[in-house]
Structure 1
Amino acid sequence: MMNKMAFIFYLLILKELPVSAQTRQEKIGDYFQALVNNQQFSGNVLVVENDTVVYQKSFGYADHTTGTPNTPNITFPIASITKIFTATAILQLKEKGLLSISEPVNRYLPEFPYPEVTVGHLLSHTSGLPPYNAFFDKDKKENPDRVFTNKDFIPGVVLNRKPLIYQPGEKGNYDNINYLVLALIVEKLSGKTYGNYIKKNILQPAGMKETSLFPLPQQFNRPEIKNYAYPHVYLHLYDKAPVRSNSIPYVKEYWHAYGFRGFADYVSTINDLWKFDQALYKNTLLKQQTLDDAFVPVKLNNGQNNSDNFGLGWEVEKDSSIGKMVYHSGAAMGLSSNILRNVTRHQTVIIFDNTHFNAHENATKLMMLLNDQKVDRPKRSIAKLYGNVLMTKGAAAAREALDAFRKDTANYYLSEDEMNSLGYDFTGNNNPYHLPEQHLYKQAIETFKTNVNLFPNSWNAYDSYAEALLADGQKEEARKMYQRSIELNPKNENGKKVLQQISGR
């Protein structure tokens, strides 16, 4: 029999032994494998701490149509992550004494017709400038073959001047036009083209040999590109497979017309963006004081932080419980990317997805896992699965599948809003890709009917169901559903208006 002192010594030894818990790498791996299993991720991920790789892996396909896999060295569009290259260029010019953040833009671009807008307003998306297409859409319609570039910008803005949407510094709204103007400033003050400046002063000093200028018009209008992760989209919530974004005529046409630079022009790799991250930590590109200033949210005129918490080119996470985190996201039609830097703990997450729009959400969860915080296991959308079964196998099979999925709450989730969106997707009224109209009222009505059965106290579910019934010519049934919606929400004024029209009053 073990004596008391020996037993206590045994317990102390046992306490010091490592527990059989998951490592951070295993937690991160399990999280991403669940995303992939749920068809919620296709891309590359890199997690770094103190210049050491904690986790790196590729998932899914660079081209879903050919089954070409994503690989660690695949080139992908970084979209708006390009903006931090532009911001870095501006801050370099500031360090050289060539510009001041607080000075008006027209000090550097004399013809710029908004004297109240400063360089700082552009960097922090608080300028109040309208989107660039507001100045050029009319000309685009009249000259559909014309391609607008940076040299057209100032003349077009002067010719078609629009009012600011708010006074600079009064509010904030993220818009590409701000960085288009910054790119023009870079060219004017440096005497170099935007691309040449970025290459010489950012890419080369950081050793970024896999990053290159590849403007969006070329990305979306070249049918075949080597070593490239094509952006993809699911055209409908009920689709089982995505299509390449550059196969959609509307997308190709839009980016053929707008060839502006400064905000979404580069392709890169996971490891090259890590080199950029390292160059920032080593102060190869900017002084530490400049970076510290860039990582502070810009104040509005009322003294409050701007709504998106933008500093000078970087967005600052509002939650600093695990350290000060700065980031920038990139998104375009069929891709999302993110670089998230915990500058307190010297941790970085770099992620891209060429089929979904949740890179920042996943980067945030990765940072939480890296810091031993709990993250819920990803679940699969019942609405999307239901829609696919309804489309391919019919209503009876869809109801049976729905019942099975609802029982497995560990792996599936049900959302009223997603079911509602699915119903509208079937109606064909919401067509963001400007595709030929397709009105699947039978499937829409079945979906909305299912949604009211699932959420019988939702006035909005009944209102949507009524709308689909009315579109299908079922006025009497629509009337009943509108009545039920109004009973649940007496403030449903639009429902009351439609109900009066149906009733002939």
Structure 2
Amino acid sequence: MSKLPIAVAIFTILLTFSCQKKQETPLLALHVPEEVVLVDSSLITIPYSLALHPVSAAYAFEKERAVSEFYSKKIGLSDFSGSLLVAKNGKIIFEDYKGYANFASKTPISETTALHLASVSKVMTATLILKLVQENKIDLNEKVQTYLPDFPYQNTTVKTLLNHRSGLPHYSRFSESIKGWNSRKTLTNADVLDYLKRYKFALLAKNDTKFNYCNTNYAMLALIIEKVTEKSYAEAMREQIFQPLGMNDTFVIDFVNQKNEVSQSYKSNYVNHGWDQFDAIYGDKNIYSTPRDLVKFDLATYSSEFLRNDLWEEALKGYSYEKRGVKNYGLGIRIREWETGQSLHYHNGWWHGNTSSYTTLKKDTIVIIALSNKYTQKTYQAMKLSALFGDYPFELNDKE
């Protein structure tokens, strides 16, 4: 008798028995041990106490649909390379990532891809200054010369650097006043201070008389940070801001050693933007981060454990009222203040092909973050999403 029919018969019996056993075990009978904690991957937290309420699933679902519709029509089109994230109380309502961090290697942008924040970096520089005020290492009303003796303008204070009321000239325009300017030299923050000292350029306005947005202010603030901490700006930011908040994908670029490793900057059609002589200057720019890490930073602005409430209040109020208008500036943060009483805080950024938008709705505990490494102004449209979460005078369906 052949052994094959017997083997087939035995296999059939075993298979039938196995299937019956599987069918007898209900799918929902899976037991999860009590010590296992199911983590909500869409909830971002920080190690500081926060008086923020959980966000309901119904609320998140409703808002996600509205944000998604706006995103698909206004921002996340086929030519977009970047990210958008909207969160309330740390709960991610919407996030999406498109395009390439490096087009040549086809490295896609993901939730851990750090993009250049451009001038949104100023928000963090200002926060570190306030942390040092809290530690009694800096006085907001103290003269800059106290910390930087070579600084040539006697009346400029730390506060007027922060709120752009110093009247300092723009470092990007020094070449207009200096004969034989070397356009190939990569400038440092120390170079900017040295040029101010050597040439004593005329102020654009007397100290604290007029708002004039100027990157030189924040290059000087970075030097003050280094002077009082006795550490590099990058080290101080990492130790006082990034590490405490768990911003593990955020860093200040080491221009000499990292410029080929970081996400690249592009013109349209992924044409590489390249670098220029101002790319090594930091404080006003040069922080790379992700939307999820920026949510952690935003959560910290609601914590008095991270920074005292009175210092947050100093940062969030306006300082420039010599002209009537909606726009104002605090300490490292832009403000829109409407006559109807609404207000919001934000900062936009642009550097080469990178654009960024950080909008924080303090009354509604919402944060809206848009980043791109391929030049577009679509990132600035993200602020209009404020209208979905509070009484803000934006039109979601306008033609812009």
Where does residue 231 of structure 1 map in the other structure?
265
Q: Secondary structure at the match of 1:101?
A: coil
Contact 2:175–2:181 under 8 Å retained in 1: no
Structure-1-length-normalised TM-score: 0.61
Structure-2 change in CA distance of 1:323 and 1:371 (3 Å): same
Does 2:268 match 1:243? Answer: no
Aligned mates of 1:306, 1:196 — CA distance in 2 = 39
Query: How many residues are paired up?
Result: 339
Q: Which shows bigger deviation, 80-89 or 319-328?
A: 319-328
| Greater share of helix | 1
Q: Secondary structure at the match of 2:346?
A: strand
Where does residue 77 of structure 1 map in the other structure?
116
Aligned mates of 1:306, 1:181 — CA distance in 2 = 28
Q: Secondary structure at the match of 1:254?
A: coil
1:197-248 residue CA offsets vs partner (Å, 9 max, x unmatched): 11111111111111011156777x53xx36x3x32223xxxxxx342212xx
Where does residue 57 of structure 2 map in the other structure?
none
For residue 318 of structure 1, the aligned residue among 337, 346, 368 is 337
For residue 368 of structure 2, the aligned residue among 326, 345, 349 is 349
Does 2:241 match 1:202? Answer: yes
| Residue segments in structure 1 that go unaligned for 5+ positions in a row | 1-21, 235-240, 247-251, 380-412, 414-505
1:13-57 residue CA offsets vs partner (Å, 9 max, x unmatched): xxxxxxxxx932112111111235755633111111122111111
Contact 2:166–2:208 under 8 Å retained in 1: yes
Does 2:284 match 1:263? Answer: yes
For residue 318 of structure 2, the aligned residue among 287, 290, 297 is 297
1:364-403 residue CA offsets vs partner (Å, 9 max, x unmatched): 1122123487744475xxxxxxxxxxxxxxxxxxxxxxxx
Q: Secondary structure at the match of 1:355?
A: coil
Q: Which amino acid aligns with 2:67?
A: I
Structure-2 change in CA distance of 1:57 and 1:99 (3 Å): same
For residue 122 of structure 1, the aligned residue among 161, 167, 171 is 161
Does 2:223 match 1:184? Answer: yes
Does 2:77 match 1:56? Answer: no
Kindly report which structure 2 residues correspond to 1:345-494, keeping only aligned pairs within 5 A, or say none. 345-358=364-377, 361-371=380-390, 375-377=395-397
Structure-2 change in CA distance of 1:283 and 1:37 (3 Å): closer
Does 2:311 match 1:283? Answer: no
1:153-207 residue CA offsets vs partner (Å, 9 max, x unmatched): 3322111221101112222121110001111111111222111111111111111
Aligned mates of 2:80, 2:338 — CA distance in 1 = 25
Contact 1:329–1:359 under 8 Å retained in 2: no
Aligned mates of 1:198, 1:356 — CA distance in 2 = 27
Structure-2 change in CA distance of 1:367 and 1:322 (3 Å): farther
Structure-2-length-normalised TM-score: 0.76
Q: Secondary structure at the match of 1:351?
A: strand
Where does residue 40 of structure 2 map in the other structure?
none
Kindly report which structure 2 residues correspond to 1:23-38, keeping only aligned pairs within 5 A, or say none. 23-35=62-74
Q: Which amino acid aligns with 1:194?
A: Y
Contact 1:339–1:349 under 8 Å retained in 2: yes
What is the aligned-residue identity percentage? Answer: 28
> RMSD between aligned alpha carbons?
2.9
Kindly report which structure 2 residues correspond to 1:322-337, keeping only aligned pairs within 5 A, or say none. 324-337=343-356
Q: Give the C-alpha shift of residue 138 in structure 1.
A: 6.8
Where does residue 100 of structure 1 map in the other structure?
139
Structure-2 change in CA distance of 1:150 and 1:307 (3 Å): farther
Aligned mates of 1:320, 1:73 — CA distance in 2 = 40
Aligned mates of 2:326, 2:167 — CA distance in 1 = 13
Kindly report which structure 2 residues correspond to 1:144-223, keeping only aligned pairs within 5 A, or say none. 144-215=183-254, 222=260
Q: Give the C-alpha shift of residue 151 in structure 1.
A: 2.5
Q: Give the C-alpha shift of residue 98 in structure 1.
A: 2.3
Aligned mates of 1:365, 1:337 — CA distance in 2 = 14
Q: Give the C-alpha shift of residue 360 in structure 1.
A: 5.7
Where does residue 404 of structure 1 map in the other structure?
none
Q: Which amino acid aligns with 1:254?
A: Q
Where does residue 42 of structure 2 map in the other structure?
none
Structure-2 change in CA distance of 1:152 and 1:36 (3 Å): closer
Contact 1:337–1:359 under 8 Å retained in 2: no
Does 2:149 match 1:110? Answer: yes
Q: Secondary structure at the match of 2:313?
A: helix
Q: Give the C-alpha shift of residue 296 in structure 1.
A: 0.4
Aligned mates of 1:283, 1:244 — CA distance in 2 = 42
Q: Give the C-alpha shift of residue 354 in structure 1.
A: 2.1
Aligned mates of 1:326, 1:320 — CA distance in 2 = 15
1:313-360 residue CA offsets vs partner (Å, 9 max, x unmatched): 111122386954211222111121121111111111111122244356
Structure-2 change in CA distance of 1:286 and 1:147 (3 Å): same
Aligned mates of 2:130, 2:325 — CA distance in 1 = 20
Q: Which shows bigger deviation, 177-186 or 361-370?
A: 361-370
Q: Give the C-alpha shift of residue 133 in structure 1.
A: 3.4
Structure-2 change in CA distance of 1:352 and 1:37 (3 Å): closer
Q: Give the C-alpha shift of residue 311 in structure 1.
A: 0.7
Q: Give the C-alpha shift of residue 299 in structure 1.
A: 3.8
